[in-house]
Structures are given as structure tokens and as C-alpha cells.
A and B are shown apart, each in its own frame.
Chain A
């Protein structure tokens, strides 16, 4: 019977606060006791970093460190840890110090996306397990590197969107489970067309647009702007680039598509059974995009080799009556309204109730860390759904149709598009 670490720490009294013993040390080299408590550190104490799901400390996993390049955010992280969680945590300015802190088992990446790839790769090399917020990476190339580093170092990686395994799927009025079951049943036929639009219950958050003509402003004293930018190209500081509004700029994210894309698309990839491949084509219908500030779009269409399509429709565009899923033999609408062979299928849920449920997924991250099984949404399928998002962003930036090779992970005959796959970092940052 392993010692419950909390009890163990309690028995040490005052000393406990000074010494946090990582799990590797406690059970002897390489040994993990099943009841052992994990430790985590959060990088990025902005919006999501304080979400209740993440900013937590409990029996299973204890918060021991926080990191931010904005002193005010960092101070808030440290003081709220004390206030809300009763934890005395270490506060780091440089994320690398958090990753290399031997007291940290799990690195939780809650920064803007332009940092995700680099931090995840470094955490993997440091032998840490990783919880990464969506979108996984802001380029396809960075996603490849995360996949490699996680595999080579045998790490557990969780990408944080969860609709493929729990919760009502936005406006659809159903979880993803029965959708998966319906698609797997073959009742709709094949190939399928999935439409993700305001009309099918998904808001593309077009308020995440950037501003053009930004005038340089003085950098606030509390912000290490150079470190905030990190691998991103240098641009004169303006408040709108950072903190709550960074999503509007190509250098850091991908607008509403970057923000919501993986939430909306990952479950579709799961439903369609495309976790190990990518679309072969992406077409866009959008106004021309600015080089720096992200704009809006009307329609983005992804096509897989077998003819399946994922169609993204911007707000107020497209067919308001389009079903969510459409196949040669049937259609599925919001609220699980279903048509088969042109007739309403009122009893569809009963038909599905006669079929086996989809294979259970590993949805307990902590359990996965102990058992070393892959989490339901990991660096491999997460890379694929992030790639769908990133393919769309590349096509938007170039305003043209792109063809993609899902095995080589490259665009076909388009150097400018491939240059967007591998975007060099601003030094000294490097993989």
C-alpha cells in the first residue's frame, strides 16, 4: 500500500511546505505508486489559466507552480493559488524554469497558441506529461514536432477540447456519442458531408478580428513584451495584440477559426473516423485577408480522399436549412432530427439503441498519466484536427484552393503554402 502523499506531507508538518516531493522521487527511481498525487504547473495565467477546470488543486493533482510574462498576471496567479486553493506555489517568469522544475510532473500550457508547439516539445524532452489548450499549434509544422517529441519521449499528451467524449455539442442539442453511432451504423450512407455553421448551432466568433493600422504604444512596465512575442516576428507593441484580443492576429492564433475550430471540428473528425488522416483539399470563399490582422470568411470546404466533406459556414452565409450531417441515404439536423431516404425518422434513437455503443475512450487524464495509456484526444488525433484548422488558415491567407498530401503532411505544388507549414521562429527561440 502506497503512502497517500497528502497524509505523508501532513505528517511532516511545517517542513512539507518547503519541500515538494515529485512522484519520481517518492517511490524510488521510476516508480509510480498508484495512489500517488501528481503535481502540475500552469503556464499562462490569463483567461483560460484561471478557468475552474484548470486552476485547481486536489487529491489527484496539486498545483505547485504558475508562470506568466506579465507580472500582474503572475502575481494574481500566485496570490489566487493561496486564496482559492490554499497552495503556496512557485511563480515563474520564464516558462522553461517551470518545465525544468523537478517538482512539476504535468505541464499545463495555457498561453496564446504561438507558444504551444515550442512549450509542448520542450516539456516532452524534459520528460513531463502535457495538458495543452486548443488550438494545439498554430502551424502544421509545429504540430508535427509535438507529435514526434511526445512519441520519442513516451509522454502523455492531452489536447483540451472534450466534445468527442462529453457534453452537449454546442447548438446541436446532443452529445457526439449518438452522432458517432448513427454514422457508424451506415444508415446515412457514405461519403458524408458535415456542415458547421451558425444555422447548425455553431458560432464562428467573428468578433475575433484584428485591427489594422495599429499605432505603437508604450509597453506596460509589468509586461515582458519581447518574451510574450517569443518566437513570433517582432511588431511594435499595441495593447490589442496581447492578452484578451491576441486571437485577431495571424502571428499568434487564427481568429474565430483558431479559437473555435478545434472545438467544432475535432468531434467531426472523430465522427467521420478520420483520426489518422487529413483532407486532401481545402477551398475558401472569403474576402482577402490582411497580412497581420485576421478578418472574416464566408465558407471553407474541406474534402477527404473518399469524398467526405467538412463545410464551415461563416455567420449569415450559406443555406440556413442545411443539415448538420448529410449522406446519400439520410440527413441529420440539430436536436437529432433525422431523415432517412427522404422520410422523417422519428424513431432513430431507438434504432440506434439496438446497436453497440462506440468503443469507450480514455477520458480520465490523471488515470492516463498513471497507466500511461493514450488520452482520448492526444498528440496524434489532436494533430490531425489542428491540421484541419491550420489548412483552412493557410488557404485563407493565400486566398486560394490548396491540395494536401495527408501522408507527407505537405501541400501539393504550392511553395507559398508550404512556407506557412514551417514558419521559422524569431531567435533565440528554436525547437
Chain B
């Protein structure tokens, strides 16, 4: 509803906007309260509209708005004002200065008047968003306020154009007494703040550690030469270690900042100092600075680092070199390979590879053959990243080398699989060379498809009997292999996937035909093809497999069952359920039944619910029960929630059940009631996984948010009076145990039974028990115009109650669609036999009471206290429920039709739905 309103609002908005200022002529207070009513704005369009109106109220309106904040306490709701204030402050930053000035002025006035600190801080945060340099002095006023100082400092640090004012405050610190720490901290967010530099340096005399930190940080951000001297000394004193004064960090930042300002000489000198420090990270920082100044000219230092034995520094130096690296750099690094230590070799090789130093592949390739595994594997990885003929040749040579270690073998497989370029021809040429090559080839080919390799792999499996090559064959099979693969399959080799792979390019129906042709020739082995036939996914596969399953036994049936479980077709669901009756197949059949239901795109959520219910009630293993219980969750239906709730007690199913209840209940506040609250509390006590804490929080929040409904019980228990009279409940709002038949289209929802015909199934709902003479009482409610339903009495199941028993009409007969209604069709009529007195229905959604009394041949129907039928079926038809002449025209009934079941002595009570939109509740019956 809310969304609809907004769409409507958007449609009419242009008109409103045009008239806002002139014609609507709203007072400022009205604009403010209109805006608050729309907070938070649901869409950016509404936001822009409302904020434009608010901003236009200027200082007066904004102050008025801001002053509506109340000190926070239980029950206070500042949200709308906060949305409006924060929203308008953000909004005006993209608008003209005039609007912005008004908002600033309004906020400042409100801040000055607000006494509650958190509210004041909020307003200052809002002002910070839209403030300008002109507000510096306003913020400065609060630097000595213990609560507000941090907020004021934050604003001064953040707002552009306040630099000069801050420098001024620093210069006059002795007079204004503002905290040096705060001022230095603000200064640290500024840039090119040179007037402040001598002041901060002077403040270092006798500074507390806390003040030092802020000063160093500020000097590091923008300091000049004097700051550099100060920080160099401080960093040295700190031993170039990070400590709470941040001297080292600030110094590095300053040096990098100086570089940006091209103060290269001084930085170079400082960087060289850093290189002497015995800490790899500090030396790297120094080298990094030098690299920025001198570029490739620092290569001697990099080469020296490579030769050194500190790996941290070596790789750091190589990384630094990346910022200027050219082919010359790579060549220089590669040239150190022969004399480098083993550790260094590994670092160099991996670095060249990571940087794709193409030309250095010549230097890398020889190391592929290294006897040191770590060097060899690094070289293999580097060569594969670079790619090209030289790299490939090195890999191929290593592949055919006898007796590679496991590590080298793995590196070769990974290298060949990710090789930067085509490996096919060379690879196929050598894959058969020796056992070493073959071992690698089998691994590569199990994930890489190289069609040219297929015939060789087939030979390995077929003639060579090498079953370890089957994965490679499976990946690479081509159509030409089809017959050979089928032969192997019939010999008992696991070739199913390979066969499918071989023919996969063909349309599914053609695949199915090829398999069926082969089956026809396979004699006694025919059945082994069922799973493959199923996997083709062809429509044509369904019928033969279902038939195969139903008509065979033993091994053949098992294979057909296998196929049945592979078919991805909703039409096999009933067969799977049938198969579940066989204890040997039960588990697998139900597993598939559940999975197929889950993945179905044609079943409705209610049909899915029914399937899961059937699966659970078939008593499979707990694993499957849990799977079905979890699968109930996405159906998001009320009955699914109630079904899951029943399984929270058993320990083995408690978790899955509880999660499903949680997932459904908390997404549907409309389901909420005292009973659902109890369920959620049970869920909270039950869940025990890693997220349990969050889940309990969710439940707590949900229960808090829906307090209004928690007293509502959906249950309608029998009154004491009726209980005394001997009534029993058929439906208490939840429990459907008394009923059977179409439980899909008659669902307990939130205290009533909802009837719908949208569920794709037909059929009625019946009491399990049969009744002869009785009083039936219930309440009903029409949810939509023209609903048609009926109460079957004394009726057998599965037939039309109006003729094979009796049907007491239930009809929203006031609908214009029934203007030609016959008298024996109005609500309450014993359909076709005794017309009822027509009553006038009220509005849709109103509940009505009805009683149907059936005693011998007398039928009495009372609606809302008014008797609308009181007649005798035998008298009404003069005893002729069927035509005496045996024809299908019966002159004795009002509808001129035969009613063979009219005089049944007893039968079920049924609900006979013909469409969506009626609710029943509080159904109870008394036998007479």
C-alpha cells in the first residue's frame, strides 16, 4: 500500500512542485511537518523533492526542525527529525550557495540553543557536512567544551577552507587556551600548512607523548625542511621502530610528501640514511624513496640486495624495482641468476615470472631442468606464465625426463594447464614417450580437452588396459570413439561419462536415439544403458526408463531405477514415490524425489510443500528428513512452517526444523500470533549452530517489532457450552488432522482455512469420519467477489457431492456475475433440491456464522441467526431423487436432474471448492 501511494505521489509530483511555493502557500511549520511525515524518503526522487522544499524554508525552517529533537529516552522518537536534518544538510551540498547558507544558519542557531549533548553533537555532524570555511569560528567556539571538542575538531579537520582560521587559533593558543593536542590533531588533516610549522615545532618543548604524536603526525603530513630535521631526529631516537609517537611513520610520510614537491636532494640524503638501518622494512622504505627519485639508476642497490642474504629485503628491493622496470632491468636481474644463491634464484625466477619478463625466458628456461626441486618448480611456474616456444620446449623436455619428483610433476601439470599459449601439438607429440610423460599427460588431460589426444588415450585404456587413463578419456572422448566406448562399457568399464561426452555435440533426442539403437543390439546388457539414456536429458528417454523400471526386476530394474533417479523431469515424481515403497530403494528414491522437487520450476510452492510432506511422512533417514525440512523453508508457506514445527522436538531433526520455522516466521509478520511467538521462542531455545547468537537476536527483534500481534491467538477452541453439548472440533485454526483429500488447496493459514483453486490440483477436502445426523457449525468469510464453494454432506469422496450426496451451497451471490442465478443456487440451498431464502451479504472480509442441521430427511440451514432453509428432502422431491422413468430428466427435482445420492444415510462432510477466495474457521460438529 505504501509503495502504491509513493508511485501515485510521483505521478502527481510535477503539479505539486510547480505549485509548492506560490499556490500551496504553506506555512513553514506546515512544510516542516509535511516533510517529517515523509521521512525517511522511500526513493531518491521523493528525497530530492522533500529536501528541496525543506531547504527552501531557510534558516527559520531548519532551526525549527532541528529544535524538535528531544533528549533521547525510552519512547522518544527523534528519527524523522534526524532523517530530515541529515538529509537536507547532504542535499544542499549539491545546490546553490543561498540554499546552503540558510541551512547552515539554521543549524548553527539550533546548535547554540540545544542543551542536550548527543543532539548537539548530531547537529554539529550535520553542519560539518554542509559547512564552509566561514563556519570555522563557529566550530572553534566548541573546542573547549569537553563533550563537543572532538566533534568541533573533526569538523575543522574535515571542512575545506578552514586552514587559515586554524593557523590563527594556533598562533593565539596562549590567549585562547585551546588544547594544543586538539589543534595539532586538526592541523594533521591539512596540507601546505606552513605558518603552523614553527608553532608546532616550538610546542614540542616539554610536550607530553600524546601531544608529540599529534605534532609528528601533522609535521609528517605537510612539514617542510624544519619538520624534516625534527622528524629525522625523532625517528632515529625511536630506533626507526613504530611507537606511539609515530615518529618513524611520520618521517616516512614526510619524505614521500617532499618527493611530491620535488625536494629530491634532501630526500635522497635521508633515504640513504634509512638504507643503513638494520631493519628490512626501513631499508625497503629508503630504497622505495630512492627509486622514486633515481629510477633505474638504483639498480646497483637492487643487485646488491639480491646478493644479500636477507630475503625480506631482497624481495622488497625487487618489488621496488617494479616501479621503473624495463627490459634492461629484467636483463640485469636475470644476469645475476647463475651466481645467485639458491634462495635468491627462487626469488628472481618468481619475480621475472610475476612480471612476465618475456625476453628473460631464455634465462629462465635452463632452470626448468634444475636438480633442485624448488628452483625447478619456480622456473616451471615462471616459464608457463610467460609462455612461448622456448618456455614450452623447456617444459616438454622436463616432462619426458625419467623420474620426476612428485613436486616437479605437480608443477608441470599446473604449468601446462595454465600455459600462456597453445600446448596441443607438442604435447600430443610427446605424451606417449615414456611412463613419466604419460603420468603427466594423464593428469593434464583429465581436465584439459585436447581432441587430438583422444585416440591415443583410448588406446591406453582399450589395448593397454590402463584404467588410470579413464578420467583423461572421459574428458577427451570424441564422436569417432562412440562404438569403442560402448564396447568397453559393455565389458564392464565405467564409460558412461565418456560415452555422453563423445556424443554431446548432438541434440538430446539424437543422443537418446543413438543410445537406444545401441541398447537394441546389446541383448542381455541392454539395461546398463538406462542411466546414460537418462543423462541425455532427452524427453524421449522418460517413457522407456519408466516402463523399464516398472516392467523389469533384479539387475535390470536396478539400472532402470538408476536412470529414473537421473531423469530431470517432474513427470517421474509419482514413480519415484512409488519406488520409495520398496525398502531397498526408499532412501535413494526419496532423496531424488526431494531434489527434483527442489529444482522444479513448474511446481508451485504449495505443491512443493506437499511433496516434502510426503517425503517426510514416508519416514526416510534423518539426513533426508532434514533435507526435506530445510527445503520447506523457501516455500515460505504457513503450512510448511507448521509442518516443520512438528519436528523441533526430535533431536535429530530439531536444527533443520527450527531454522525453517525461523526463516518462514520472521519473514511473514502476517503469520504472527501467540502460537507463532511460542514457536519462535522454541526456535531460540533450539538453534545451536555458529549463527545461533544472531538468530536469537533476530527472533528477539522480530518479537519486539510485532508486539501488537502477540496477544492474538489464532486458535478457536470449543466453548465450554458447546463442549457440554457434545460438539467436537473439526478445525481449530491450525490442526488439519480431522481432514483428508485436497490438503493442498485447503490450507491452514493464520487461524483460518484458506481455500484456493490456484494450486493446480482439483479435488475436495473431506472429514476422515462419516456422519449421518449431525449439527455442523462454522464461520466463513468471502475474501473476493463472486466466490463459489459448497458444503458436501452425506457424500462419498471423490464425486460431485451435489448429486452423489448433498451440497449446501456457499456462494457470494451478490456479485454482479451472478445476476442470472437460479433460486436453487443461492447460498444455503440444498443444491438443486431446496432453494434457500436469499440473504444480503455485507462487505467482503466480514465473517458469517452458519449452522447446518441434518436430521433424517430434514435439513435446516441458519446463517447469522436467520433460518434460510428448513425443508424435507423427501417431501421436496416427492420421494423421487431420480427420474422414475430411468431417464436423466427428473421432473421431481428443482434442477430437473437426478440426485442418486440424495437419500444416503451417511457420508463424509466435504468442502467443495470452485475457486480462490474463501476462508473457514472454527468448524465443529455434533452427532445427533
How far is B283's CA from A375's CA once the two chains are assembled, in angstroms?
21
Secondary structure dominating the interface of A: loop
New contact pairs (7) apart from A30-B310, A153-B281, A346-B504, CB-CB < 8 Å: A30-B309, A148-B256, A154-B285, A234-B151, A287-B41, A419-B159, A426-B154
Closest to A30 in B: B310
Closest 10 CB pairs of A and B: A372-B315, A154-B316, A154-B284, A30-B310, A353-B449, A424-B157, A416-B93, A291-B86, A153-B281, A126-B242
Indicate if A7 sits at the interface (CB-CB under 8 A). Answer: no
How far is B217's CA from A125's CA once the two chains are assembled, in angstroms?
13
Complex interface: chain B residues within 8 A of A233 (CB):
121, 125, 150-151, 154
Please judge, given known A-B contacts A371-B346, A400-B44, A426-B154, whether A121 and B249 are in contact too, CB under 8 Å.
yes
Closest chain B CB from A374 CB (angstroms)? 8
Interface stretch, picked from B414-422, B569-577, B590-598, is: B414-422
Inter-chain contact B249/A431, CB cutoff 8 Å = yes
Interface residues of B in 64-91 (CB under 8 A from A): 72-74, 76-79, 82-83, 85-87, 90
Inter-chain contact A244/B504, CB cutoff 8 Å = no
How far is B241's CA from A100's CA once the two chains are assembled, in angstroms?
9
Inter-chain contact B418/A356, CB cutoff 8 Å = yes
How far is B122's CA from A58's CA once the two chains are assembled, in angstroms?
48
Interface stretch, picked from A10-18, A206-214, A270-278, is: A206-214
Indicate if A350 sits at the interface (CB-CB under 8 A). Answer: yes
Interface residues of B in 237-259 (CB under 8 A from A): 241-244, 246, 248-249, 252, 256
Q: Return the contact of B414 from the options A214, A360, A424 (Cβ within 8 A).
A: A360
Indicate if B703 sits at the interface (CB-CB under 8 A). Answer: no
Closest chain A CB from B178 CB (angstroms)? 13
| Chain A window 27-42, contacts with chain B (Cβ cutoff 8 Å), 1 for yes, 0 for no | 0011110100000000
How far is B763's CA from A151's CA once the two chains are assembled, in angstroms?
72
Q: Return the contact of B319 from the options A125, A154, A212, A430 (Cβ within 8 A).
A: A154
Closest to B122 in A: A291
| Chain B window 313-357, contacts with chain A (Cβ cutoff 8 Å), 1 for yes, 0 for no | 111100110000000000000000000000100110010001000
Inter-chain contact A244/B697, CB cutoff 8 Å = yes
Inter-chain contact A125/B248, CB cutoff 8 Å = yes
Complex interface: chain B residues within 8 A of A407 (CB):
none
Inter-chain contact A357/B44, CB cutoff 8 Å = no
How far is B158's CA from A233's CA once the two chains are assembled, in angstroms?
13
Inter-chain contact B347/A372, CB cutoff 8 Å = yes
Closest chain A CB from B239 CB (angstroms)? 11
Indicate if B698 sits at the interface (CB-CB under 8 A). Answer: yes
- What would be 26 A-B contacts, judged by CB atoms less than 8 Å apart? A30-B310, A96-B244, A100-B243, A122-B242, A125-B246, A126-B241, A154-B312, A154-B315, A155-B281, A212-B82, A213-B77, A215-B74, A291-B83, A353-B448, A354-B448, A354-B451, A356-B417, A357-B447, A359-B420, A371-B346, A374-B354, A398-B93, A399-B90, A400-B94, A427-B181, A430-B185
Please judge, given known A-B contacts A30-B280, A212-B79, A426-B150, whether A431 and B93 are in contact too, CB under 8 Å.
no
Indicate if B7 sits at the interface (CB-CB under 8 A). Answer: no
Inter-chain contact B241/A371, CB cutoff 8 Å = no
Closest chain A CB from B605 CB (angstroms)? 14
Indicate if B677 sits at the interface (CB-CB under 8 A). Answer: no
Complex interface: chain B residues within 8 A of A214 (CB):
72
Instruction: Report which residue of A284, A288, A291, A428 has the largest number of chain B beta carbons within 10 angstroms of its beta carbon.
Output: A288
How far is B76's CA from A8's CA once the two chains are assembled, in angstroms?
64
Inter-chain contact A31/B185, CB cutoff 8 Å = no
Inter-chain contact A213/B76, CB cutoff 8 Å = yes
Closest chain B CB from A214 CB (angstroms)? 7
Indicate if A285 sits at the interface (CB-CB under 8 A). Answer: yes
Indicate if A290 sits at the interface (CB-CB under 8 A). Answer: yes
| Chain A window 388-425, contacts with chain B (Cβ cutoff 8 Å), 1 for yes, 0 for no | 00000000011110000000000000111001001110
Closest chain A CB from B671 CB (angstroms)? 17
Inter-chain contact A236/B40, CB cutoff 8 Å = no
Inter-chain contact B447/A353, CB cutoff 8 Å = yes
Indicate if A301 sits at the interface (CB-CB under 8 A). Answer: no
| Chain A window 355-368, contacts with chain B (Cβ cutoff 8 Å), 1 for yes, 0 for no | 01111100000000
Complex interface: chain B residues within 8 A of A216 (CB):
72, 118
Closest to B92 in A: A416
Complex interface: chain B residues within 8 A of A154 (CB):
280-281, 284-285, 288, 312-313, 315-316, 319-320
Interface residues of A in 227-255 (CB under 8 A from B): 233-236, 244-245
Q: Return the contact of A291 from the options B82, B311, B346, B418 (Cβ within 8 A).
A: B82
| Chain A window 258-285, contacts with chain B (Cβ cutoff 8 Å), 1 for yes, 0 for no | 0000000000000000000000000011
Closest to B343 in A: A34
Q: Return the contact of A427 from the options B41, B214, B319 (Cβ within 8 A).
A: B214
Please judge, given known A-B contacts A371-B315, A424-B189, whether A287 and B447 are in contact too, CB under 8 Å.
no
Interface residues of B in 163-222 (CB under 8 A from A): 181-182, 185, 188-189, 210, 213-214, 217
Inter-chain contact A372/B312, CB cutoff 8 Å = yes
Indicate if A318 sits at the interface (CB-CB under 8 A). Answer: no
How far is B40's CA from A357's CA once the two chains are assembled, in angstroms?
49
Residues of A that sit less than 8 Å from B by CB: 29-32, 34, 96, 99-100, 121-122, 124-127, 148-149, 151-155, 207, 212-216, 233-236, 244-245, 284-292, 295, 346-347, 350, 353-354, 356-360, 370-374, 397-400, 414-416, 419, 422-424, 426-428, 430-431
Closest to B41 in A: A288
Inter-chain contact B450/A357, CB cutoff 8 Å = no
Complex interface: chain B residues within 8 A of A358 (CB):
418
Inter-chain contact A360/B280, CB cutoff 8 Å = no
Interface residues of B in 428-454 (CB under 8 A from A): 447-451
Inter-chain contact A350/B501, CB cutoff 8 Å = yes
Inter-chain contact B94/A414, CB cutoff 8 Å = yes
How far is B449's CA from A151's CA once the two chains are assembled, in angstroms?
41
Inter-chain contact B316/A215, CB cutoff 8 Å = no
Indicate if B561 sits at the interface (CB-CB under 8 A). Answer: no
Indicate if B39 sits at the interface (CB-CB under 8 A). Answer: yes
How far is B253's CA from A148's CA once the two chains are assembled, in angstroms?
9
Complex interface: chain B residues within 8 A of A122 (CB):
242, 249
Q: Return the contact of A290 from the options B83, B242, B256 (Cβ within 8 A).
A: B83
Closest to B313 in A: A30
How far is B126's CA from A290's CA once the two chains are assembled, in angstroms?
12
Inter-chain contact B44/A399, CB cutoff 8 Å = yes
Please judge, given known A-B contacts A284-B44, A397-B90, whether A430 and B158 are in contact too, CB under 8 Å.
no
Inter-chain contact B311/A285, CB cutoff 8 Å = no
Indicate if B115 sits at the interface (CB-CB under 8 A). Answer: no
Inter-chain contact A371/B40, CB cutoff 8 Å = no
Closest to A149 in B: B249
Closest chain A CB from B680 CB (angstroms)? 15
Indicate if B42 sits at the interface (CB-CB under 8 A). Answer: yes
| Chain B window 32-52, contacts with chain A (Cβ cutoff 8 Å), 1 for yes, 0 for no | 000000011111100100000
How far is B92's CA from A399's CA once the two chains are assembled, in angstroms?
12
How far is B343's CA from A32's CA once the two chains are assembled, in angstroms?
11
Interface residues of B in 256-276 (CB under 8 A from A): 256
Closest chain A CB from B513 CB (angstroms)? 17
| Chain B window 87-118, contacts with chain A (Cβ cutoff 8 Å), 1 for yes, 0 for no | 10010011000000000000000000000001
Closest chain A CB from B713 CB (angstroms)? 28
Complex interface: chain B residues within 8 A of A284 (CB):
44
How far is B511's CA from A346's CA once the two chains are assembled, in angstroms?
13
Indicate if B160 sits at the interface (CB-CB under 8 A). Answer: yes
Indicate if B505 sits at the interface (CB-CB under 8 A). Answer: yes
Indicate if B475 sits at the interface (CB-CB under 8 A). Answer: yes
Instruction: Report which residue of B90, B188, B319 has the largest number of chain A beta carbons within 10 angstroms of its beta carbon.
Output: B90
Closest to B38 in A: A288
Complex interface: chain A residues within 8 A of B90 (CB):
397-399, 416
Inter-chain contact B153/A424, CB cutoff 8 Å = yes
Please judge, given known A-B contacts A152-B256, A154-B316, whether A350 and B40 are in contact too, CB under 8 Å.
no
Closest chain B CB from A238 CB (angstroms)? 10
Please judge, given known A-B contacts A285-B43, A289-B40, whether A372 and B316 are in contact too, CB under 8 Å.
yes
Closest to A28 in B: B309
Closest chain A CB from B385 CB (angstroms)? 6
Inter-chain contact B284/A153, CB cutoff 8 Å = yes
Indicate if B390 sits at the interface (CB-CB under 8 A). Answer: no
